[in-house]
Amino acid sequence: MKPTLVTGASGFVGWHVARLLAERGHRVRALVRESSVIPDLEVARVTGDLRDAASLERAVAGCGLVFHVAADYRLWSKNPDDLYRSNVDGTRNMLAAARAAGVDRFVYTSTVGCIGVPDEDQPVSLDEMAGAYKRSKFMAEQCALEFARDGFPVVIVNPTAPMGDHDFKPTPTGQIVLDFLNGAMPAYIDTGLNVVQVRDVALGHLLACERGRVGERYILGAENMTLGQILRELASITGRKAPAIELPYFVAYTAGVVTTAWAHLTGTPPRAPLEAVRMAKKKMWVSHAKASRELEYAPGPARGALADAVAWFAKRSQIGAAA
């Protein structure tokens, strides 16, 4: 069996994709930077950088499959161009290297933010993308679709809001859980997410590789929930109190403007990034019916994902005295 290359294996979703591939007998080769750590997982490491095309050519040589999961996932950056270099240029570099190497299948991890609500058939444009992260991911997805139209076997998956164990940084969605546990969320706004167990997302990647149609996009989600419902579910899991105050959107927006402006002055990430506030204005409630129909994707309930995230952060001792 040829090796399978996974980018982003030191991150949340990528770690789970690499773990599942290894469990199923794949010879996993993980593209990582020199300083990257992949805990609790034994895979072959190859050093490289998405912005270094030559390193990608070396990494993908001899591989049969590529899962390109890596991305610069930040809702604020002092230098937004960094996101475009990693997410857009890096994806184009990875696609080109994989095509030159003659890989059999390429699975690209996009995001539900690039999808029109409620499903893959809804038209959406770059102008509708709020902030550098979503814009860069949309442009990267368009690049993947272009390679697919040219005959390269690319399948795209669009995870929603994954939660669960091994959320190292944590991700912005995992930060919701961590803030709740640390008593750092006294209020919330009226927004909505589609919460999914990260292990289901990883399985969805493998199903897309095995059964997905070239050039198609598949939403990998589970359960549509308001932020208030998520917090009440966390309260039920932990026995803690859920925030009772719902802030009007204009208050959150004002906070986003002020804290983001201060962040640009200080270089310290804002507590409430304006990009995140803008994204929150729209409930990202979507359907994974296409993935269920074509891939036989069958995710579990959101409560299990939230419970796993709680257990993970507790195990990592990331819950402070305020909890």
pLDDT tens-digit series, residues 252-302: 889 889 999 888 888 888 988 988 888 888 899 999 999 999 999 999 999
Is the pLDDT reported for residue 235 higher than 50? yes
State what percent of residues in the chain have pLDDT above 90: 85
Instruction: Please give the mean pLDDT across all residues of the chain.
Output: 94
SS3 sequence of the chain: CCCEEEECCCCHHHHHHHHHHHHCCCCEEEEECCCCCCCCCCCEEEECCCCCHHHHHHHHCCCCEEEECCCCCCCCCCCCHHHHHHHHHHHHHHHHHHHHHCCCEEEEECCHHHCCCCCCCCCCCHHHCCHHHHHHHHHHHHHHHHHHHCCCCEEEEEECEEECCCCCCCCHHHHHHHHHHCCCCCEEECCEEEEEEHHHHHHHHHHHHHHCCCCCEEEECCEEEEHHHHHHHHHHHHCCCCCCEEECHHHHHHHHHHHHHHHHHHCCCCCCCHHHHHHHCCCCCCCCHHHHHHHCCCCCCHHHHHHHHHHHHHHCCCCCCCC
The burial class, CB within 10 Å (0-12 / 13-18 / 19+), for 301 is: middle
pLDDT at res. 322: 37
Q: Using 50, 70 and 90 to split pLDDT, how confident is the model at 193?
A: very high
Structural domain span for residue 294: 4-168+193-223+285-299
Residues 50, 90 contacting (CB under 8 angstroms) = yes
What are 95-138's pLDDT values in tens digits?
999 999 999 999 999 999 999 899 999 989 999 998 899 999 99
Q: What pLDDT, on the 0 to 100 scale, is given for residue 321? A: 40
At 125, list the tokens. Answer: 């444009």
Identify whether 181 is part of a domain: no
What tokens were used for 88? 């857009």
pLDDT at 37 over 50: yes
The answer to whether position 233 is within a domain reads: no
Q: At what angle do helices 131-149 and 90-101 cross, to 10 degrees?
A: 20
Mean pLDDT value across residues 233-241: 97
Q: Which two tokens stand for residue 67?
A: 């899962």
Is the residue at 90 inside a domain?
yes
Name which of 31-40, 153-162, 232-241, 255-264 the model is least confident about.
255-264
CB atoms within 10 A of CB 74: 20
Number of domains the chain contains: 1
Q: What does the pLDDT read at residue 229?
A: 98
**Mean pLDDT, to the nearest integer, of 15-30?**
98
User: Residue 117 is encoded by which pair of tokens?
Assistant: 């609500």
**pLDDT per residue as tens digits for the range 207-230:** 999 999 999 999 999 999 999 999
User: What is the reported pLDDT for 111?
Assistant: 97
What sign does the CA torsion over 101, 107, 111, 112 have? Answer: positive
pLDDT over 90 (residue 42): yes
Q: Is residue 311 part of a domain?
A: no
Please state at what angle helix 227-238 crosses helix 172-181, rounded to 10 degrees: 50
Assigned domain for 236 exists: no
- Report the pLDDT value the prediction gives residue 252, as an integer from 0 to 100: 87
pLDDT at 320: 60
**Cis ω for the linkage preceding 186 (within 30 of 0):** no
- Per the domain annotation, does 57 fall within a domain? yes
pLDDT of 323 > 60? The answer is no
Question: Please, which pLDDT band fits residue 192 given cuts at 50, 70 and 90?
Answer: very high
Contact in structure between 294 and 218 (CB atoms under 8 Å)? yes
Asked if residue 243 is part of any domain, the answer here is no
Whether pTM exceeds 0.75: yes
Answer yes or no: is 278 within a domain: no
Tell whether the model's pLDDT for residue 318 goes beyond 80. Answer: no
**Which CATH number does the domain housing residue 219 bear?**
3.40.50.720
